[in-house]
């Protein structure tokens, strides 16, 4: 295998200039899925990716229609007895605003100090394209991929992938695979290779509280009729203990506790508490007692009040006793919490703690997603771990994601396939911000890593 790896890496060096120029062409397409005026650009990006797959020699490439933007799908079934790997990524990007903070225009890719600057340079066009370069090298050297390959590149990730649940169900048989490898994600640091073991789920709701039919004169009614804002403040305070533990009955009942080994694994991740606080301008940490900041961020569930409004908001004063108040809640969930069950618990809590002088309603909001975790003995995780050891000369860190990645759980639930996050986004790439960039060195490393990973996956089954 080493000789084959050497030849593939030599090919990557030989074609690097061509690859980077092609990546620049891709980055010039302003495929901003959130803005209607860029709808044709999103479609153009999908067609660009489809053509790139054809250029690689993928025999079956098509655009799968969804409710919004198409999925770029490709497949090359080399041998039905080999593992089937579905490569995931997305071709849409975030809006570039604020434009005046960019040093160079966001859709005019600029190479500066070993980095390529552009919107989407890291998230996710650069990472996705690097994976394709590694695959191209394998095909160029041996004539075909070493495993069965399928490709799933969506155009809605930056707006929450709203069409993906229906699309994955619709195309379930076409997408059948043993493992999903995500070209969207990152490493803990430039010299800190890492593998992601889990991501949190999410659920959301809005609480609307009313104490009267109309706002009232505070002098006439303030001592007689309950203030809705004050009442909701009191209700909101019941969601947590003073120390920071969620106080909703049953909230933690199904939470999978961290084992001593998992806690040791998290403790091994380099973390500077003072630097962390300084970066975000906070005085101290807060949250559920008995857990470290990283344990809470990565492996403990949360309930956050994201917004609170009611009453007079303008300048000056208005002597009013508000009759209604509102708040929005999101919960980040961990295995084995169910979004619908958690929302039911919140509804019960609200009804139980609402004072008798108020009426309250909880409205469930769309966008729920279950938590995701890859099984620890998954052959793809083992293979990826070995690849990172080879490339960096050290054991990769085992990390988790505090955010939510809906497609990971979606593929797991609908296809029975775990997702391996294998991408080279870095903390200093400024994704979603002005001056997003991608180090050329990380681009090279990722392409080399995909060569090694796919060859290793040939040697083992990634099924159940």
Give per-residue pLDDT as tens, 285-334. Answer: 999 999 999 999 999 999 999 999 999 999 999 999 999 999 999 999 99
Note the Cα 442 to chain centre separation in Å. Answer: 20
Provide mean pLDDT across the span 2-16: 97
Q: In this structure, is residue 290 part of a structural domain? A: no
- Is residue 279 in some structural domain? no
Q: Are 441 and 339 members of one domain?
A: no
Distance of CA 223 to CAs 247, 359, 386, Å? 30, 19, 69
Helix (H, G, I), strand (E, B) or coil at 26: helix
Residue 103 lies in a domain: yes
Q: Give me the pLDDT at residue 21, please.
A: 98
**Strand-pair partners of 207:** 327, 362
CATH number at residue 194: 3.40.630.10
The interaxial angle of helices 16-27 and 440-458, nearest 10 deg, is: 110
CA dist., res. 100 & res. 435, Å (int)? 10
Specify whether the CB–CB gap between 145 and 181 falls below 8 A: no
Q: Which of 65, 153, 86, 159 minimizes the C-alpha distance to 406? A: 159
**Conformation bin of residue 20: beta by default, left when phi > 0, alpha when psi is -120 to 50:** alpha
User: Please, what sign has the CA dihedral across residues 65, 168, 400, 34?
Assistant: positive
Cβ contacts of 70 within 8 Å, gap of 6 or more: 43, 46, 63, 64, 155
Looking at the structure, tell me whether residues 111 and 151 fall in a common domain. Answer: yes
- Phi, psi at residue 364, to the nearest 5°? -75, 135
Do residues 335 and 373 lie in contact, with contact meaning Cβ atoms separated by under 8 Å? yes
For 396-405, the pLDDT digits (tens) are: 999 999 988 8
Residues 114 and 210 in one domain: no
**What is residue 459's predicted lDDT score, i.e. its pLDDT?**
76
Longest dimension (CA), the chain: 87
Q: How far is CA 201 from the centre of its chain?
A: 10
For residues 398 and 350, state if they share a domain: no
Residue 411 lies in a domain: yes
How many helices and strands (H and E) does the chain possess?
Answer: 15, 18
Same domain membership, residue 114 and residue 40 = yes
Using alpha carbons, select from 341, 401, 340 the residue that is nearest to residue 374.
Answer: 401
Note whether residue 60 is domain-resident.
yes
Which residue, among 257, 265, 326, has the nearest Cα to 288 in the 3D structure? Answer: 257
Q: Are 239 and 246 in contact (CB under 8 A)?
A: yes
Q: How many CA atoms lie within 13 A of 35 on its CB side?
A: 11
Identify the helix (H) or strand (E) that includes residue 85: strand 84-90
Q: Classify residue 281: in a domain, yes or no.
A: no
Please give the Cα distance from 445 to 464 (Å, whole number): 30
Strands (E), 158-221: 179-182, 194-199, 201-210, 216-217
**Average pLDDT score over residue span 275-292:** 94
Domain region containing 352: 201-255+301-369
Same domain, 54 and 91: yes
Paired residues of 330 in beta bridges:
204, 304
Of 327, 344, 369, the one marking the end of a domain is: 369
Give the residue among 427, 448, 445 at the shortest CA–CA distance from 436.
Answer: 427
278 occurs within a structural domain? no
123 and 79 belong to one structural domain? yes
Mean model confidence pLDDT for the chain: 96
pLDDT at position 442 over 80: yes
Quick one: CA dihedral 114, 119, 122, 126, positive or negative?
negative
* Strands 179-182 vs 359-369: parallel, antiparallel or unpaired: unpaired
Residue 34 lies in a domain: yes
Same-domain pairing of 24 and 137: yes
Range in 37-46, 161-170, 401-410, 430-439 with the lowest mean pLDDT = 401-410
Question: Which residues contact residue 212 at a Cβ distance below 8 angstroms, ignoring those fewer than 6 apart?
Answer: 225, 226, 228, 323
Please indicate, yes or no, whether residues 52 and 113 belong to a single structural domain of this protein: yes
Give the burial class of 98: count Cβ atoms within 10 A of its Cβ; 0-12 exposed, 13-18 middle, 19 or more buried: exposed
CB neighbour list of residue 226: distance below 8 Å, 6 or more residues apart: 211, 212, 355, 357, 358
Neighbours of 233 (CB within 10 A): 14
Q: How confident is the model at residue 460 (pLDDT cuts 50, 70, 90)?
A: low
Confidence of residue 145 (pLDDT cuts 50, 70, 90): very high
* pLDDT tier, 1 (very low <50, low <70, confident <90, very high otherwise): confident
The answer for residues whose C-beta is within 8 angstroms of residue 83's C-beta and 6 or more apart is: 147, 148, 178, 179, 457, 458, 460, 461, 462, 463
pLDDT at 462 over 80: no
pLDDT digits (tens, 9 = 90+) for 184-214: 999 999 999 999 999 999 999 999 999 999 9
Quick one: average pLDDT of 101-120? 98
What predicted TM-score, i.e. pTM, was given to this entire model?
0.89
Shared domain check, 365 and 216: yes
Give rounded-to-5 percent helix, strand, coil for the chain.
40, 25, 40
Phi then psi for residue 285, to 5 deg, are -85, 160
- pLDDT(439) > 90: yes
Total count of domains within the chain: 2
**Which of 369, 396, 420 is where one domain is finished?**
369
Q: What is the pLDDT of residue 160?
A: 86
Q: How far apart are CA 26 and CA 29, in angstroms?
A: 6
Residue 6 C-alpha from the chain's centroid: 33
Instruction: Please tell me what DSSP assigns to residue 425.
Output: B
**What are 275's two structure tokens?**
């630097």
Say which CATH number the domain at 350 has. 3.30.70.360
Same domain, 386 and 239: no
């Amino acid at each position: 295998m080493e000789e084959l790896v050497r030849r593939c890496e030599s090919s990557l060096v030989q074609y690097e200039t061509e690859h980077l120029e092609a990546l620049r062409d891709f980055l010039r397409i302003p495929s901003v899925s959130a803005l209607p005026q860029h709808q044709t650009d999103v479609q153009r990006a999908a067609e660009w990716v489809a053509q790139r797959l054809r250029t690689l020699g993928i025999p079956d490439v098509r655009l799968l229609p969804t409710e919004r933007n198409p999925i770029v799908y490709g497949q090359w079934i080399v041998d039905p007895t080999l593992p089937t790997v579905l490569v995931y990524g997305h071709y849409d990007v975030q809006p570039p605003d604020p434009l005046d903070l960019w040093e160079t225009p966001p859709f005019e890719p600029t190479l500066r100090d070993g980095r390529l600057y552009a919107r989407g340079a890291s998230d996710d066009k650069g990472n996705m394209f690097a994976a394709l370069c590694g695959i191209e090298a394998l095909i160029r050297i041996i004539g075909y991929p070493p495993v069965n390959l399928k490709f799933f590149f969506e155009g809605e990730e930056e707006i929450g992938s709203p069409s993906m649940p229906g699309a994955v169900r619709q195309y379930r048989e076409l997408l059948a695979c043993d493992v999903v490898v995500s070209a969207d994600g990152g490493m803990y640091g430039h010299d800190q290779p890492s593998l992601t073991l889990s991501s949190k789920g999410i659920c959301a709701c809005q609480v609307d509280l009313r104490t009267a039919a109309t706002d009232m004169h505070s002098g006439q009614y303030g001592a007689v009729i309950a203030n809705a804002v004050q009442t909701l403040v009191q209700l909101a305070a019941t969601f947590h203990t003073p120390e920071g533990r969620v106080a909703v009955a049953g909230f933690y009942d199904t939470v999978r506790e961290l084992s001593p080994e998992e806690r040791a694994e998290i403790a091994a991740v380099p973390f500077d508490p003072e630097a962390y606080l300084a970066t975000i301008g906070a005085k101290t940490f807060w949250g559920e007692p008995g857990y470290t900041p990283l344990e809470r961020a990565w492996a403990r569930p949360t309930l956050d009040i994201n917004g609170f409004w009611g009453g007079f908001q303008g300048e000056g004063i208005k002597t009013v006793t508000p009759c209604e108040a509102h708040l929005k809640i999101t919960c980040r969930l961990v295995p084995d919490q169910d979004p619908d069950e958690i929302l039911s618990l919140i509804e019960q809590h609200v009804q139980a703690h609402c004072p008798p002088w108020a009426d309250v309603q909880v409205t469930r909001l769309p966008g729920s997603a279950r938590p995701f975790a890859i099984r620890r003995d998954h052959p793809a995780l083992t293979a990826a771990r070995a690849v990172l050891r080879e490339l960096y000369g050290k054991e990769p860190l085992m990390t988790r994601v505090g955010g939510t990645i809906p497609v990971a759980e979606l593929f797991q639930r609908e296809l029975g396939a775990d997702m391996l996050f294998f991408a080279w986004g870095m903390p200093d790439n400024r994704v979603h911000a002005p001056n997003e960039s991608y180090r050329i060195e990380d681009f090279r490393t990722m392409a080399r890593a995909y060569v090694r990973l796919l060859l290793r996956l040939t040697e083992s089954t990634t099924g159940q």
